[in-house]
Every structure is written in structure tokens, then in C-alpha cells.
Chain A
Amino acid sequence: MAGKSGRTIQSVQKNSLKSTLLSWEGALAILFIALNIFNSIISPSYTVTNVLREMPKYLCEIFMLFPMAYILILGDIDISVGSIVCLSATMGCFVCNTGLPVGLSFLTCLAVGTLCGLLNGIILTTFTELPAMIVTLGTQIIFRGIAEITLGSGGSVSLKNTAGYNAIAGKVGIVPIVFFLVIIAAVIFTVILAKTTFGRKLYAIGSNRTAAHYAGINVQKCRLIVYTIMGLMAGLCGMFLTSALFGANTTTGQNFEMDVIAMAVFGGIATTGGKGNLIGGIISAFIIVLLRIALGQINLNSQLILVIIGALLIIAVLIPGISSSFKAKQKMKAVE
């Protein structure tokens, strides 16, 4: 899905691009602060304790934001992640219910997720002509389908022994363990993207795949790695979601892919590839989550919440476009 003309004139635009990006994150940070003030005004229940208690389910989704950001930066997409969550949670539950040690159940979640991601990666790198959208659409149906078959006619499995999963759903004080893990993952993924050659390779591939290939980057290897990591993180999400649901069913993780992509895009990561960084993505993820929590607390119609998020998303992606075309016009005038 890389830019079709295959020409993003990175060298010319770099400066202005950088400054817009920085200002975008600045704007997000201001929005984040404003949102918290707004939230605490509209909802009397918007307290640190309450917010942290409501958060784990959303935090599970944020695990997938990091690799999804990588995939978007590559100019690819993965819409099968929700189904991977479902499948890995299902398998994890079944393993746990056979009486095996709970560690093995965790491992199953991660392994199943990784395998699913690997499968996506193998198909995409073997048949490079195929758009990621359609392949992951196919696997989206298949992964959830396999979970449906495994779950059988009941369509739901519950943990017989919740002790192990209860442990990872635990809290340190009022802060859920998963919160710390998300922060750790955020740091690791941000550093890899910003500071390592691997991260730079991703940007290179995203802005021009052919050029990256000629520059000696093994494009397909990078894609394979990123899709596998995506699977791994989806498995991790499945594991923590199981700890919140004490089980899994056929609708587990439904629509997570859209939530995650929305968070990334709202954070300034372009689906055309090569643009954006994780700091924006992380702030925007928390903005969306906190907005959802606060609007939920004032009992706004759940569909209306979705309308608001949809509108915010469109406005967020419109702003850079409008400002850049405005700048272009000014430049034209200056030239004249």
C-alpha cells in the first residue's frame, strides 16, 4: 500500500515534516491535559482509582498498538489481530483447563499468537504482490473460525482454575500490573523504532519500498519479523484479556483491529507508510481510552461515543492535510 507513485520526496520535505510532527505531538499532549480537565468536570466518578480500575481491558489493546504502528510505518496493515487475540485466548484457556501449569497456558497464548503472526508474514512475503489488507482479511476469518471450531457449540470456555490468571490481573497498590508492562513495552518499542537501524529500515521501507530494496535492505525479512512480533503482542493481549474475562468466547477481541489502527492514526502515524512515531501513538491511545472511560461514566449512548470517536478521527487526520495545503498555497504566493 505504499504511495503509488513510489516517490515521497523525503529529502526536500524533511524539515517541514519534522516540525509538523513535533507540533502534532505537542498538540496531542495539550489535548491530553485538556481532556483530563474536561473529563473530571463532566464526570464526578473520574478519579485516579476509578480510571485505573477501568483501564486494564483497554491496556490490553495498547499492547498491539506498538507493532501495529510498525506495520503502518511499513505501509502495510493487519486486520487479523482481533482474531489472533481470540484464538490465542481460546487455546490458552483450553491448555489451562487440562490442568497443566498456568505458565504453560501463558506460553500457549504467546506461541499461538506468534504462529498466527508468522503465518501472516509468510503468506505476505511469499506472495509479495498480495495486499496485506486482503491476506489479513482472509486470516481474520480463518483464525476466528478455528477458535469457533475449537470452542464448539457452546462458543465459550471459562477457566476452571483462575489462580494463575488472577495473579497477572493483580495490582500494585491501585495500579494494575498490566499498566507497568504496557509502559515497559512502550519504552522498548519506542527505542527500537527511534534508535536502532532496524527502526530506520522500517521508515525506509515505508517511504519507498523499491528504493529500500535497492539500498540493500532485506524488505521481506523485515516484514516477516514485524508481522511475527504483531502476532506475539496479540497473543500477549489475548493472555491479559483472558485474565480479565476468566475465559474466552467467539466474540473475544472483536473489532480490536479497528480500535488499534484508530489509536495509531490519531497519533499521527500515516497508513501510507514512512511517517509518524510511537510517542504520538501512545499519547493518542491514552486520549482515546480516557475519553471512552469518561463518556461511559456519564452514561452517554454507546453508539454516540463511537460517533464522537469517528468524528475526532476524521478531524485529526484532516488537520495535517489542511495545514500542509495551506502552507503550499502560501509558498506558491511567495514564489509569485
Chain B
Amino acid sequence: MTAYLVSILIFASIYGFVALGLNIQWGLTGLINLGQVAFFAAGAYCAALATRAGLPFLLALVLAALISGALGAAVALFTPRLREDYLAIVTLGFSEFVRLIFLNEKWLAGGPDGIAGVPRPSTVPGLNSETSFLAIAAGLLAVAFWFSQRLARYPIGRTLRAIREDETVVASIGKSTLSYKTLAFVLGAALAGIGGALFASYLTYISPDMFGPNVSIYVLAAVLLGRQGSTLGTLAGTAVVALLLEGTRLLKDFITVVDGVQLAALRLMALGLALMVIVAIRYRPGRRA
């Protein structure tokens, strides 16, 4: 049971990075990104390849952040005038584009078989492999949380919030909205890339089917749950989503009227329903989210 709880916390920490990244892009800046999983996948593959090639874990993390950040910059520069639903469609398409590349590229990414044997970081003295990984993931997440908090309070964060409200007014006060939007995409993608690196390292195996659009929806749900733009809320939302997704696996011991496959579907339906209720209540017209 403890091992299972540790596992849930590790997944919550990993998805915490992806959600914090989305919170910078969508929560702060208002850029609806339904393809956050693409940056998560890029980070995972980058770290997997780097650590398998013998690079230290920390360097692999940095590389994952850089590669994912560069991808984020490419998306931002490719979509400078897109907002809301159009940007959502483009980013969703982009994430599938990235996944299909990993699915079909066999020389480097291993095609549908993915990459196995991804090394884990060295164990923290005095801890077992799982709790050590949790300590590393949670420690790094704490740094990411601190960074996100500072960002939101600094003038850069204020400008990102201003872009979310009215891009035209921001442009009229002499600020380059393209630069700030690109920055938001880069930072958000880099955080997702770090999450991906941790994901690959924790599971020691990755394949393209792990990076479907559902991951983007989970992190979107986390940001929605926590309140758009709130860093602490995003982490709380991530914990709730992780608990809903992973914790409900235990229900199979108590609910016997449905089989395992049906229960898995019911869990996703519960998450979908929770999302609908939250959006309907929290984001109704005339109410501040």
C-alpha cells in the first residue's frame, strides 16, 4: 500500500511539471494549448536517449528542458496570431504530429516498441529506489513551483496576465506580445520536458502510446481544477487528478459489479464528469474564475 501511495505521488509530481508548464501558457498567458503532451514526449525521448548514451541524469534533464523549450518556441513562432480555439486545434494537431514521428521513427526512437532500459538516477543515500525517486521528483517540483510563483509576481508574469486579458492594449503600451507569448510557450514546454525526462527515468521504458492526447486533457483538467493562473491551485489540481486516475484503481477490490476494463472506463468518465461540473460552475459567465 505504501509503495502504491509513493507511486501515486511520483506520478503526481511528474504531471505537476506538465501542469505547471500549462499554467504558464494557458493559466497566465491565455494560450490554449491542447498539445502539452508533445513537449512531455520530447523531454521523455530526449532524456531516455541521453541517459542511455551515458550522460548524467541532471544533464539529461537540462537537455530535455532545452529540446522541449525549443519545440515550444517553434510552435509559438509558427502561430503568432492564433488565439483560443484555433491555437487549441493547432497544438492538438502538433502533439499528434510529434507522437506519429516517434511511432514511425525506428532508428532513434524505436518506433512502436519505444525505448527500454532507461536508467534511473542514483539513489539518495538511506532511501530505497522508489522513495529516492520521489524525493528527487518532489524536490525538483518544489524548485519549479518556486520559479512559477516568482514568475507570476514579477513584471514578466504581469505582462503575461495582461496578454491573457487584452493583447491589443498590451501592444499599445509598447510591449512585444510575440516575444512574451514565445517566452510563455518556451517556459511551459521546458517544464513539460523535465516532467517527461522524469517520466522516462521512472518507468525505465517509454513508447509512443504513452503520449496520447489524453495526457494533455489530464493536465488541462488539473489547471482547471486548481483555478486558471494559480500555481498552488495547479499543483493541488494535479494531485486530485492523479488521485482520481491512479487511486481509483483500488476500487476494483470493492466494486465487483463491473470488470476491470469497465472500471477503467468508469474512472475516465468520472474525470470527464468532474471536468464538466467544474467548468460549468467555476467558469460560468459573470463569475470570476
Whether chains A and B associate is no
Binding site for B on A (CB under 8 A): none
